[in-house]
Structure 1
């Protein structure tokens, strides 16, 4: 299980005439993060700075990056990244766009402004918990389909079903519950079901 943002979020803050627009988005991988960052930078191409941070965890792989985009080193990208860490978020990208208002904020002021814009964007996006899933393929008889579907609802989601001489189901169940789910399917169908893992 991990925490991420529910959807894209945008929030605007103003500090001493500078406008900070925070953008947060859920992402699956580094390619998606880069696509999101580029889209925001293109949309706000006239901005003085587009500071970014993202944190991605896939299994044992961790990708964590931030960029100050011309602001003083450590004043902007790192505080945005720290928000992701403090909120224990992963698979999230954040960009904070700054339009300079003519008054310098200093290192501490910049850090606070970028941090607050990031927090506001994340709050606008909403935080959810996501359970990692395993995909399985089931082959069951027509007589077993209704009780099997009820069990699937308890453990996960039905992705696809195909009816021929038997019923083929693609399902996803929470990681860590696969063995119990398979055992219950086997008992429920009196060994008539065939269960196989599908490689993602």
Structure 2
């Protein structure tokens, strides 16, 4: 399954009517990771007026999301933050917007706009990438077949050798995208031996 998320965590600051809003975003792979990120940012800014948040993750084949206004008026913070996650089509992501009250009340509309704007700014400042599930295999082959495999790697998308060891034969580990797996394994069928599935990972398209 392919999905869009961010590459690296990032922070931005946005000011409205002397209230300072700090947006933090990170890629997460589970509810636990999302909650841990929210706690981490809330602890970092534990003297702030509010730490509002939203997350969306795919876990065990389900899409799970949650958000919180953290004592801002209902619907003015968590939901707008989550709305930005949806607007940009992101998944496996957590976003926290911290507010330091500046003495001027923003009103319902003003709060919604401020939390939305901060969330948009932090997403725009981050690098949005597409992730996909990859499969890792190990195999052995003769030297005569290894050049074929190297050429195949150059021609096929999302197929890369991550480790190789040369002795009287070639031992190598390769990673392949879910979309390309069946094609490449079929092409390798008569070129390798001792082919074993190692596990799954996640790659950037």
CA distance in 1, matches of 2:161, 2:33: 26
Normalised TM-score (structure 1): 0.89
| Per-residue deviation, 1:58 | 4.2
Asked if 1:176 corresponds to 2:170, the answer is no
Q: Tell me if structure 2 keeps the 8 A contact 1:152–1:171.
A: no
CA distance in 2, matches of 1:163, 1:31: 41
| Per-residue deviation, 1:18 | 0.6
Q: Tell me if structure 2 keeps the 8 A contact 1:67–1:77.
A: yes
Counterpart of 1:131 in 2: which secondary structure?
Answer: strand
| Per-residue deviation, 1:109 | 1.0
**Aligned counterpart, 2:81:** 80
CA distance in 2, matches of 1:144, 1:125: 42
Counterpart of 1:19 in 2: which secondary structure?
Answer: strand
Aligned residue-pair number: 197
Counterpart of 1:161 in 2: which secondary structure?
Answer: strand
| Per-residue deviation, 1:34 | 1.9
Deviations 1:69-117 (A, max 9, x none): 1111211001100111111100111000000011111111111100110
CA RMSD of aligned residues (A): 1.8
Deviations 1:95-148 (A, max 9, x none): 000000111111111111001101111111121111221222222223322331
Normalised TM-score (structure 2): 0.87
Q: Tell me if structure 2 keeps the 8 A contact 1:54–1:64.
A: yes
The runs of 5 or more residues in structure 1 that have no matched partner are none
CA distance in 2, matches of 1:161, 1:23: 39
**Aligned counterpart, 1:15:** 16
158, 163, 168: which one aligns with 1:160: 163
Deviations 1:21-54 (A, max 9, x none): 1111111222221222122111111100111111
| Per-residue deviation, 1:149 | 3.0
